[in-house]
Amino acid sequence: MIAPVPSSSCSPLDELLRAAPCGLFAFDDAGTLLALNDTLLDVLGYAREDVQGRPVTGLLSLASRLFCETHVFPLLRMQGRVDELYLTLRTRSGESVPMLLNAVRQERAEGAVHQCAVMSVRERGKYEDELLKARRAAEEALRNNAALIQIRQEFEEHTRTLDHKLTQLEQRNQELTRVSAILAQDLREPIRKLSLFACLFTREDREGLSMTGQRSLELIRTVSAKLEQLVVGLHQFMSLDVLEDPIEEVDLLEAVGNARRRVKEMSGHPAPELRCAALPIIEGRRRQLMTLFFHLLDNAAKFHKPGELPRVDIECQLVQHNSFRALKDRYHYTDFVKITVADQGMGFATSDAGYVFEVLRKLDPDSPGLGVGLPICRKVVENHHGTLSVESEPGRGTRFTLLLPLKQQTHSAA
């Protein structure tokens, strides 16, 4: 389209702005188009009254409007100008025109004004397309190459470490199986006999003994009973490493219900009153997860405040979490269930939070139980690639936080 012949009333400068071989326009802080020159109207196919006084974003493609909102407008406000930005304008007929934009912001008494110049870069755009394509290919190649070299090095290192660890693990597993067998039979049998023979003393036999003898006999009985329990507890703890339970879909609500019934049957304490949120079905080892909740509930049943019934609140939330736990700089976000098990029992000082998960470590040697419950809990959670933490305050209660993945990794070490 050819611009009309200039009228003689225009100054040469006005004429230059009106018909300059680039588009010129201005918009205010609210984004309203204040003015635009004939060249721009021609390029876009608009009449002045179609666009003047309307939003400047109407001239842009949607992608370019997005880019303006997130980059250009903030830059203009913070920096006062932008140079050589690539934008796509939209003609009246919907065609895209690639343009380069320069703009400056001028603060005026009546409000800020943005003065802009755009120049079509259709031909240049093709050249840039090629450049971009080449750059992407180069980046891709570089990335693959660097990534491959790194992966190969890591792989070799990992293979060596893995081999070493597997050897160790196998040996350790044999030892554990042996220790577990010792705990289950060799050690338990003599202890059981000790208990048994101590019980064989009839009342008459005992009456024949001195006071010291009677007391010693009584002590032998209590100590051997305790020893037997201890061996049972240790065996339970060790067997979590040795036995290979299958991974299956476990309804956690069912696991909690079973655990509560078992607390009632086994401990002789009143079963804790339970307020339990809806729990999901997750992949895991059924027996182990049941044991986990058994010990958590049992703990609450044992350490409730004197004169109060034990009460446990179980809350649940699905979260996404990094499934890498030990490796630094590795990230894989997957679904976990975060379960908190809170009681209002006796609690303990936070400084002891590390101890409670250690085997046979008891904060109060006179308290009931063996000191294997919480270590078992932690082992179960670890076997499921999760985490277990505890917060507590004396007199206020204890809150365990479990993080268990919804799905277990399918590959397992052979």
The binding site for another protein (CB under 8 A) comprises: 29-31, 57, 61-67, 69-71, 73-75, 77-88, 107, 128, 131-132, 135, 139, 317-322, 328-333
Minimum distance, C-beta of residue 62 to another protein, in the bound complex (Å): 5
Minimum distance, C-beta of residue 323 to another protein, in the bound complex (Å): 11
**Which residue number, 127 or 197, has a Cβ lying nearer to another protein?**
127
**Which residue number, 223 or 316, has a Cβ lying nearer to another protein?**
316
- Nearest CA among 38, 86, 80, 88 for reference residue 61: 88
**Which residue number, 154 or 205, has a Cβ lying nearer to another protein?**
154
**DSSP symbols for 100-112:** EEEEEEE--TT--
Minimum distance, C-beta of residue 319 to another protein, in the bound complex (Å): 6
Q: Which long-range contacts (CB under 8 A, 24 or more apart) does 390-395 make?
A: 390/353, 390/356, 390/357, 391/350, 391/353, 392/347, 392/348, 392/349, 392/350, 392/352, 392/353, 393/347, 393/349, 393/350, 394/346, 394/347, 394/348, 394/349, 395/305, 395/346, 395/347
Which distant-in-sequence residues (6+ apart) come within 8 Å of 194 by Cβ? 220, 224, 227
Residue 188 DSSP SS3: helix
Contact 72, 59 (CB under 8 A): no
Minimum distance, C-beta of residue 75 to another protein, in the bound complex (Å): 6
Minimum distance, C-beta of residue 44 to another protein, in the bound complex (Å): 18
Minimum distance, C-beta of residue 333 to another protein, in the bound complex (Å): 4
**DSSP symbols for 234-275:** HHHHHHHHH--PPPEEEEHHHHHHHHHHHHHHHH-SPPPEEE
CA angle 337–236–194, rounded 5-degree value: 160
**Which residue number, 96 or 239, has a Cβ lying nearer to another protein?**
96
Minimum distance, C-beta of residue 57 to another protein, in the bound complex (Å): 7
d(CA 268, CA 262): 10
**Which residue number, 172 or 275, has a Cβ lying nearer to another protein?**
275
Strands 273-276 and 311-322: parallel
**Which residue number, 257 or 280, has a Cβ lying nearer to another protein?**
280
**Which residue number, 64 or 180, has a Cβ lying nearer to another protein?**
64
Minimum distance, C-beta of residue 390 to another protein, in the bound complex (Å): 15
> How many residues belong to the chain?
414
